Structure 1
Amino acid sequence: MRDATRRAVPAIAALFVLTSPPATARPRVPLPCAEGRFDVVSGSIMDRTVSDDAIVIQAGHVTVASGCGTTSFSLRRTKAGPVLRARWKHCLAGGAVRLRASFTSDCDGLQGRVLQPKRRLVFQARRERAAQKPPDSSSTFGVISQQIFVHRGCTVAACHGESRSAGLDLRPGAAYEYLVNVRATGAPGSLRVAPGHASESFLSRKVRGQLAPTEGARMPLVGDPLPVLERDLIDVWIDAGAPETGTVSGAPTLDPLGYQPAAAPPVPPGGIQLVLDGPMLEPGRETEGCLWVPAPNASDLFVSRTSVVSNPGTHHVAAWRYTASATPQVGVWRAGDIACLSGAQFGAAALAGAGMGKGTDTALPPGIASVLPGGGYFGLNAHFYNEFDVPIQVKVWFNFYLYDNTPVHIVDGLTSLDTTFGINVPPFTQLIRRGRYVNTRGAPVHMLHVSGHMHKRGLRFSAWQSDGTKLFDDYDWSHPTGRDFDPLWVLAPGDWIDYECLHDNGVTRPVRLDATGRPAPLRFGISAEDEMCILTGSFYPG
């Protein structure tokens, strides 16, 4: 949910209690529309990197979610209607900021411009709607909502659920309002859904991966692409006018959802299998946690391939190496232990992992192997959401296939702690933290992958080559995609990777609270309530 300011916004409120003014006073201009929260759907207010911005009008004051605190505003009567004006001496962007905006005729929109030092930004915003009833499950949109958006993991808290990544809420009861005739974030000139025109709708291009370099990643972000039948269902629905109710004639029929546990895969010949035998999860419930198991291998092993198989309901899974000094409690599901941070090295590369779906199979290029450490313990991490109508089990199998003979190159992990320890974000602000990883090995390194690591108040992780070429943008802190290199990218000695994290402490994410329940600065730490900004990756030297 939003912060306390958002929850306090009334549906209808009067701005002024009018009294008889002195004869010489200018009559106040009444607020022409109800107060409320207006989510930006086009353009930007403060920072083009903020994907979930809003203007909140409440009790005679206005706030910009991305970094301008509460201030009073004035209303000026013009030929086109009342214009709202506000001024801040200092905002997160730095320097004075002026806002000029007007309501649309139906009071559902707010549009205008923001003046900052040396730049002018224009925006369009849409009034936030109260939660609506979920669509009829038998309607075409109801099928799309339940069997695609929910079933494919798009509505979990960290994606297009509670955190509304990219300003988009795909939960049942909200999805239609956020999709149809709404401008797409990051795709200027495009609507998320343009009724009657699937080929012009950003949603259709998003699920098909037909995107420009600046338009983000395919949806779903994790797991396999949508099956052809599901993509076609979305297009047929859009071409039919994107109706909220009723059944579209000729629309493809999807098989009803049903829970079928995954079959246990065989142990790899001569290899290693780790099993996360987790708890049962009731319908509609979500969990992420960790289960520690003893390493079955006494010595290090070279691995050429990993595969993961899981029960339906997964959003992501991963295996981590235990690095703490004390002995962990084994065989016990630790709910809330995100990324096994109770014992895994923060920012370290996972030993194996998979996104949404029943599993994945990953093989390294010829001549390259990773190392599965011997002895100690492994942490098996999983994030499950039960969209079925029966209890399901959190269960995952991790298979490690051994490398034949001796590999030419051994994969090493990149962990840049250049900037993470300095994180300090005051309450109700956003700050960007910048870092740089420099190849100081004295020899080239061949990069296989780079990514970023943040916690739940991280809005964006971005990285660039030293010449300014963008490597990636990640907006999902819990399931970063980063960048794979094929062919491998060679980072020369002395060359570097620049990166930055945008953290949010109480603007669009919940404010950090201290032990007494008071708002507190957001700082570096290993718990999910603290933050990080770590560049990670994999490479081989030489």
Structure 2
Amino acid sequence: MKRLVTILVLGAAACADESPSTPDNALELTMRATIPAGTEVEYCKFVEIPDAWVTKDTVEFTAGSHHVLVYQTSYTTIPTAKENGTVVDTSGVFDCSDGATSWKVTKLIGGSQNRDGAAILSFPDGIALHVGGIAMINVHYVNGSDAPLDTDVKIRFETIAAEDVVQEGDILFLYNPLISVPAGGTARAHMRCPVYADITIANAQSHMHARGTGYEARVDTNAPFYTNSEWESVPVKDYENLTVKAGSTLDYYCDYRNTTGRGIYQGPRSTDEMCMLIGSYYPADPRTANCLDPSGKVPGGDWVGGGSATCQATLGCLQNAGGALPAITDCMLAAKPEVAAPASAALRCFMTATNPLADCGPQIQACSAR
């Protein structure tokens, strides 16, 4: 099988002229940034990458980098403004602490949360993920020292020729936005995501922040295929034949312990929390990869509460939440686990309907009966 290695050393500088040290058929880019003392930031960089089929990534980054992610975008040229119209100097590294979703990202194509461990992307022979055009590198930095910190990030994608691709792969990137950990207490964030096509999972890993104490992922109600109790040095587990049938659910949860005096919700900062299931899988199905509804346009899946509230009581709570995510989160997590499906269906309709009371009649009726 023909192989070549495309090396992406992700970064701020423009592409250097090819030199004797640059491998043939390789693209080298660099991302170097100096992080001010005592700060936590996310920096991004747009890069143009060739049309390619990638099978594996390896990531190197210096201390201070919490994670490195590479996203495919739908841009044909490097943009100079966010989706809301805010003009940004994107000629080099720029601050993107408000998140990658301010830009037209279409899918995750690589990255790592481990300095010395496995990365995200890894497929068996003949399986590859399609990339090309404008990509965005996103790096989360934490510099707790009293001095500026110089950082460097490198990513290497292994590729195969298009004629050697048997099936298109993709990356599972399941994100649960409903997390609430009370001050001095414990909590669980639990989500079930639909699987729309028969898939095979090649690897899996969790993602939590410092309050994370436990994690499990399973198919339906089967035994977990992935468990972890660490938020740092996260293990990446490889599978030879982990098949998941269409109509199944990917069920995952994160457990937390909060020793601070304030409540903690989801968010990108280290002082916030996250709960994710990430992994390489094939064949590609964007709805499954991103936990979307059947239309592929809005969030799908069920948020599973751990309280005692009925679905009808949860409806009343949601109506009083005023659209604020922390309040919505507390409403949903106070619900009984048995009403996860109707409560989640109602919440999805509320989030997308022009007139929820008029447009969400069936969902309200189904939830009110529970």
Comparing both chains, which one has the higher relative contact order based on Cα–Cα distances under 8 Å and sequence gaps of 6 or more? Answer: 2
Corresponding residue for 2:254?
A: 501
Do the aligned residues in 1 keep the contact of 2:114 with 2:234 (CA within 8 Å)? no
140, 153, 160: which is aligned to 1:396?
Answer: 153
> In the aligned structure 2, how far is the partner of 1:380 from the partner of 1:310?
10
32, 53, 58: which is aligned to 1:277?
Answer: 32
194, 202, 207: which is aligned to 1:453?
Answer: 207
The letter for the 1-side match of 2:250 is I
CA deviation after TM superposition for structure 1 residue 411, in Å: 1.6
CA deviation after TM superposition for structure 1 residue 539, in Å: 0.7
Greater helix proportion: 2
115, 133, 143: which is aligned to 1:356?
Answer: 115
> In the aligned structure 2, how far is the partner of 1:511 from the partner of 1:341?
30
174, 181, 197: which is aligned to 1:425?
Answer: 181
Q: Residue by residue, what CA displacement relative to the aligned partner does 1:514-534 show, whole Å, maximum 9, x if unpaired?
A: xxxxxxx43334444433323
Matched, 1:489 2:231: no
Structure 1's 306 and 422: CA in aligned 2 closer, same or farther, altered over 3 A? closer
Structure 1's 493 and 332: CA in aligned 2 closer, same or farther, altered over 3 A? closer
Corresponding residue for 1:535?
A: 277
Corresponding residue for 1:375?
A: 134
Do the aligned residues in 1 keep the contact of 2:209 with 2:272 (CA within 8 Å)? yes
> In the aligned structure 1, how far is the partner of 2:203 from the partner of 2:87?
32
CA deviation after TM superposition for structure 1 residue 501, in Å: 1.3
Corresponding residue for 1:32?
A: none
> In the aligned structure 2, how far is the partner of 1:374 from the partner of 1:473?
36
Structure 1's 288 and 528: CA in aligned 2 closer, same or farther, altered over 3 A? closer
The letter for the 2-side match of 1:412 is D
Corresponding residue for 1:411?
A: 169
432-441 or 375-384, larger mean C-alpha shift: 375-384
Matched, 1:511 2:261: yes
- Any idea what SS the aligned residue of 2:215 has? strand
Q: Residue by residue, what CA displacement relative to the aligned partner does 1:308-337 show, whole Å, maximum 9, x if unpaired?
A: 4455x47765232276625654434759x5
Corresponding residue for 1:294?
A: 46
CA deviation after TM superposition for structure 1 residue 352, in Å: 2.8
CA deviation after TM superposition for structure 1 residue 457, in Å: 3.0
The unaligned stretches of length 5 or more in structure 1 are 1-263, 513-520
- Any idea what SS the aligned residue of 1:470 has? coil
227, 250, 263: which is aligned to 1:473?
Answer: 227
CA deviation after TM superposition for structure 1 residue 357, in Å: 4.4
Do the aligned residues in 1 keep the contact of 2:121 with 2:279 (CA within 8 Å)? no
- Any idea what SS the aligned residue of 2:204 has? strand
Structure 1's 427 and 310: CA in aligned 2 closer, same or farther, altered over 3 A? closer
Do the aligned residues in 2 keep the contact of 1:307 with 1:398 (CA within 8 Å)? yes
Do the aligned residues in 1 keep the contact of 2:59 with 2:115 (CA within 8 Å)? no
> In the aligned structure 2, how far is the partner of 1:483 from the partner of 1:539?
13
- Any idea what SS the aligned residue of 1:414 has? strand
> In the aligned structure 2, how far is the partner of 1:468 from the partner of 1:500?
14
> In the aligned structure 2, how far is the partner of 1:322 from the partner of 1:287?
27
> In the aligned structure 1, how far is the partner of 2:142 from the partner of 2:104?
19
Corresponding residue for 1:121?
A: none
- Any idea what SS the aligned residue of 1:318 has? strand
Structure 1's 480 and 384: CA in aligned 2 closer, same or farther, altered over 3 A? farther
CA RMSD of aligned residues (A): 4.2
Number of residue equivalences: 252
Matched, 1:303 2:54: yes
Do the aligned residues in 1 keep the contact of 2:66 with 2:139 (CA within 8 Å)? no
Structure 1's 427 and 344: CA in aligned 2 closer, same or farther, altered over 3 A? farther
The letter for the 2-side match of 1:429 is G
Do the aligned residues in 1 keep the contact of 2:53 with 2:129 (CA within 8 Å)? yes
Structure 1's 266 and 439: CA in aligned 2 closer, same or farther, altered over 3 A? farther
Corresponding residue for 1:251?
A: none
